[in-house]
Amino acid sequence: MTDATHRRPSRLPTRLLGACLALALLLAHQPARADDALMAGVHAFLYEQAQAHGEDVVIEVRPPSARLPACEAPQPFLTHASQPVLGRVSVGVRCGAEGRQVRYLQAEVGVIGDYPVAAREIAPGTAITADLLETRRGDLSRLPRQAVLDEAEVLGQVARRPLAAGSPLQAHQVQARALVERGQKVTVEAQGPSFRVTREGEALEPGGEGERVRVRFTNRELVTATVIGDARLAVDL
């Protein structure tokens, strides 16, 4: 008969065990706290940018996919400066005093705000006036990417295609009212510090304010000028 000896597992003193657990928890949460600080900075940056569209803003910032060292002196920026801060947004963050390290985070931004829609069906070629629009309120991030958020941007412009009643307006659906028509006699101005010269010509294409149009003069000379008014254009010197 073999004697079996059973030994009880050794235990660390209670104080030492508590200290080890505290240290383990501290180390485990240290990267998370660094990520949290970075995400909080991005959240504040996006909130400031999105407030222009409305006061009710909901932002979700996704944490970095990899564990990285803490980002010192974070400087968030939009990777696409012309893109409105709505829906899915990519944010870059420069880290360090000189901003040499750059990280990228993804976020979802929702804003409850007002936007214009067609009050009734609008036919192509119709000039957009205030009585053709009405205001609705909703989540702006759910609108089409090119949705117009300020009716002032489309007032006076012309519908390029039929617009259904109740539909949000999009930038590509409207265009500037033509101030110059093809074949129209136009005046082309050239102006300097102490002189102003005008010539009469023929527009070879239509154009709205600020658009570039080719003009032919009687001597067959061709120039490209900028539309500045009804049948008026200007050339750069």
**Same structural domain for residues 141 and 70?**
yes
pLDDT (0 to 100) of residue 45: 94
State the Cα–Cα distance between residues 185 and 208, nearest whole angstrom.
15
**Same structural domain for residues 48 and 159?**
yes
Instruction: Provide the whole-model pTM.
Output: 0.59
pLDDT (0 to 100) of residue 118: 97
Which of 175, 194, 219 lies at the terminal end of a domain, its last residue?
A: 175
**Same structural domain for residues 53 and 169?**
yes
What's phi and psi for 12, nearest 5 deg? Answer: -75, 150
**Same structural domain for residues 72 and 141?**
yes
89 assigned to some structural domain? yes
Q: What CATH number does residue 137 fall under?
A: 3.90.1210.10
Residue 45, number of CB atoms within 10 A of its CB? 21
DSSP calls for 129-180: -GGGEEEEEEEGGGS-TTB---GGGTTT-EESS-B-TTPBPBGGGEEPPEEE
Q: What CATH number does residue 213 fall under?
A: 2.30.30.760
pLDDT (0 to 100) of residue 46: 94
81 assigned to some structural domain? yes
**Same structural domain for residues 59 and 108?**
yes
What's phi and psi for 73, nearest 5 deg? Answer: 50, 60
**Same structural domain for residues 88 and 43?**
yes
User: For 93-152, what is each residue's pLDDT tens digit?
Assistant: 999 888 788 999 999 999 999 999 999 999 999 999 999 999 999 999 899 988 999 999
9 assigned to some structural domain? no
pLDDT (0 to 100) of residue 33: 56
CB 125 within 8 Å of CB 163 = no
**Same structural domain for residues 100 and 164?**
yes
**Same structural domain for residues 230 and 157?**
no
State the Cα–Cα distance between residues 188 and 180, nearest whole angstrom.
12
Which stretches of the chain score pLDDT less than 50?
1-32
**Same structural domain for residues 138 and 182?**
no
pLDDT (0 to 100) of residue 3: 40
pLDDT (0 to 100) of residue 14: 41
State the Cα–Cα distance between residues 187 and 162, nearest whole angstrom.
33
- Rg (alpha carbons) of the chain, rounded to whole number: 31
DSSP calls for 11-37: ---HHHHHHHHHHHHHHHHHHHHHHHH
pLDDT (0 to 100) of residue 35: 74
**Same structural domain for residues 156 and 66?**
yes
**Same structural domain for residues 92 and 103?**
yes
Range of the structural domain that residue 207 is part of = 178-234
Residue with tokens 């082309």: 188
83: which 2 tokens?
A: 């893109």
pLDDT (0 to 100) of residue 64: 82
Strands 212-216 and 56-61: unpaired
**Counting every residue, how long is the chain?**
237
**Same structural domain for residues 156 and 195?**
no
Q: State the average pLDDT for the chain.
A: 84
10 assigned to some structural domain? no
